[in-house]
Amino acid sequence: MSTVAPRVPLVRRVWRSDDARRGFACVAGGLVLAVMTGPSGSGTAPTSGFTGSLFHVRVVGFVLFGLVLWGLITARSRYSSQVRAFSAKVTAAPRRLLPDRRVRRVVYLAVLGFAIYYPTILNSFWQEVLVDQIGVYVLLAIGLNVVVGYAGLLDLGYVAFYAIGAYSAAYWTGALPIHPLFHLNPFYAIPLAILAAMFAGVLLGVPTLRLRGDYLAIVTLGAGEIIQIVATNLQGVTGGAQGVIGIPHFSVHLFGIRYSWGLDSLPYYYLLLGFVVIVLFAFRSLENSRVGRAWVAIREDEVAAESAGINVLKYKVMAFAIGASTSGFAGMLEASKISFVEPSDLTVQFSILILVLVIFGGMGSLPGAIVGAAVLQWLPQFLRIHPLFGFQQQDLYMYLGALLIVMMIFRPEGIIPSRRRKREIGLAEHGVGHADAMGHTSGPVS
């Protein structure tokens, strides 16, 4: 190089080019991933985690990963039409068949059959995971999906209703320090737990749902935090920080049938499966009803919805309360299954976890909520027993947080998007509609 002058524009040109920026971002992402999966540091050696991750041969792999990612992204944008044509060809058959009601019914039945048969060949560890880590979370995700996916509201205090359901179970079965009006088997306390959670949802929802959507998020976040403090501090009512123990298992004796659920996970799994199927049918009908369409209307354009005669507050409260009652239902099921409740489990993180399941699967999509919950709840268990990946349970929320950002940047509609929601997000990005119920203010500046 003879002169300095021409070099500056070159650097600038490279920096300005989208390709280079994308490459930089991909490699940076690879390095971040290297740090995330690398060794931990400590307060006395704060840099050891970074140096152990970045000055180690493994970093080469992550840089390569970033470069491959860059290559893929670049190829995809360069050959987008060919990629689209190819994927259209591959998915042509399922897309032609899926709208057919009979085909869909067969698919559903096959999935259900698999869900019934598969657990029987698992060992007891995975059976337990299937109930405690997956089944209950599928139910929770389906419920939060009503709030976030259908109504477009951000509820960060979902745990509060789970807690209310769990403590309701404890209350009606007489496990709490305070005595109930009458003792019930948890099975019969289900409606009461659901009602209690729903009532709490209405109570919290009516004042806050009048406000802008981000205020709802922060108030629910606070409520989720408060419920834990209350559960810990009200020693005389909740049993305090030690929690409550001795919540009995479910049992029925109706029409000559006597059955008690015990310590075995499998019967609980089938109970849960039954409930999930019922809730799925109910919510699917809800989605395709007057109520579901009113939610879509509110999500898209609150002002237009109001002037089309929809009582916006009423429908928001409705979604919030339905979500709350599902959470309460799940809380009561789990409390009775593991037979205790502990305030230390009722964290704000728990609410965030459910949110991640819904977002990952696809807001507003029932299959998305199920698959999202199943995959994300299964994966940590899998990684935990395969130490090769260097996964530590305590880092879970770091990964989930990163996943949320990545999803919002690259695939806000989730892995199995609801068709309607995907269209909305696409339109909102072209300045049409809102795709959420965040209030009347105009969208963020571009």
Which tokens is 194 given? 């659901």
CB of 434 to other proteins, least distance (A): 6
Residue whose CB is less far from other proteins, 13 or 314: 314
Number of Cβ within 10 Å of residue 285's Cβ equals 11
Distance, in Å, from the CA atom of 48 to the CA atom of 413, rounded to the nearest integer, reads 38
Site residues for other proteins, 24-43, by CB under 8 A, read 35-36, 40-43
276 contacts other proteins (rule: CB under 8 A): no
User: Which CA distances in Å does 24 have to 39, 69, 329?
Assistant: 24, 11, 47
Distance, in Å, from the CA atom of 302 to the CA atom of 224, rounded to the nearest integer, reads 27
User: Of the candidates 294, 335, 357, 366, which one interacts with other proteins according to CB under 8 A?
Assistant: 294
Residue whose CB is less far from other proteins, 249 or 434: 434
361 contacts other proteins (rule: CB under 8 A): no
Residue whose CB is less far from other proteins, 60 or 211: 211
Distance, in Å, from the CA atom of 311 to the CA atom of 104, rounded to the nearest integer, reads 35
CB of 372 to other proteins, least distance (A): 14
CB of 441 to other proteins, least distance (A): 5
User: Which CA distances in Å does 265 have to 88, 175, 246?
Assistant: 42, 22, 17
User: Of the candidates 212, 253, 384, 386, which one interacts with other proteins according to CB under 8 A?
Assistant: 212
User: Which CA distances in Å does 121 have to 25, 130, 371?
Assistant: 44, 12, 20
Q: Give the burial class of 202: count Cβ atoms within 10 A of its Cβ; 0-12 exposed, 13-18 middle, 19 or more buried.
A: middle
Distance, in Å, from the CA atom of 380 to the CA atom of 382, rounded to the nearest integer, reads 5
Site residues for other proteins, 140-169, by CB under 8 A, read 148, 152, 154, 156
Site residues for other proteins, 366-405, by CB under 8 A, read 392, 394-398, 400-405
User: Of the candidates 213, 239, 248, 414, which one interacts with other proteins according to CB under 8 A?
Assistant: 213
Residue whose CB is less far from other proteins, 334 or 436: 436
Which tokens is 255 given? 């029409």
Residue whose CB is less far from other proteins, 160 or 335: 160
CB of 52 to other proteins, least distance (A): 10
Residue whose CB is less far from other proteins, 41 or 180: 41
Distance, in Å, from the CA atom of 306 to the CA atom of 297, rounded to the nearest integer, reads 9
Residue whose CB is less far from other proteins, 128 or 424: 424
Residue whose CB is less far from other proteins, 338 or 438: 438
Instruction: Please provide the DSSP assignment of 280-320 as one string.
Output: HHHHHHHHTSHHHHHHHHHHH-HHHHHHTT--HHHHHHHHH
217 contacts other proteins (rule: CB under 8 A): yes
Who's near 338: CB < 8 A, 6+ residues apart?
A: 132
Residue type at 389 in one-letter notation: F
CB of 133 to other proteins, least distance (A): 19
CB of 433 to other proteins, least distance (A): 5
CB of 341 to other proteins, least distance (A): 19
Distance, in Å, from the CA atom of 428 to the CA atom of 301, rounded to the nearest integer, reads 11
Site residues for other proteins, 303-332, by CB under 8 A, read 303-312, 318, 322
User: Of the candidates 291, 375, 383, 416, which one interacts with other proteins according to CB under 8 A?
Assistant: 291
199 contacts other proteins (rule: CB under 8 A): no
Which tokens is 133 given? 């880590």
Site residues for other proteins, 54-113, by CB under 8 A, read none
Residue whose CB is less far from other proteins, 122 or 221: 221
443 contacts other proteins (rule: CB under 8 A): yes
User: Of the candidates 282, 386, 389, 393, which one interacts with other proteins according to CB under 8 A?
Assistant: 282
User: Of the candidates 286, 379, 415, 416, which one interacts with other proteins according to CB under 8 A?
Assistant: 286
195 contacts other proteins (rule: CB under 8 A): no
296 contacts other proteins (rule: CB under 8 A): yes
Question: What is the residue whose two structure tokens read 């999966």?
Answer: 37
Instruction: Please provide the DSSP assignment of 357-418 as one string.
Output: HHHHH-TT-HHHHHHHHHHHHHHHHHHHH-GGG---GGGHHHHHHHHHHHHHHH-TT-SS--
Residue whose CB is less far from other proteins, 340 or 399: 399
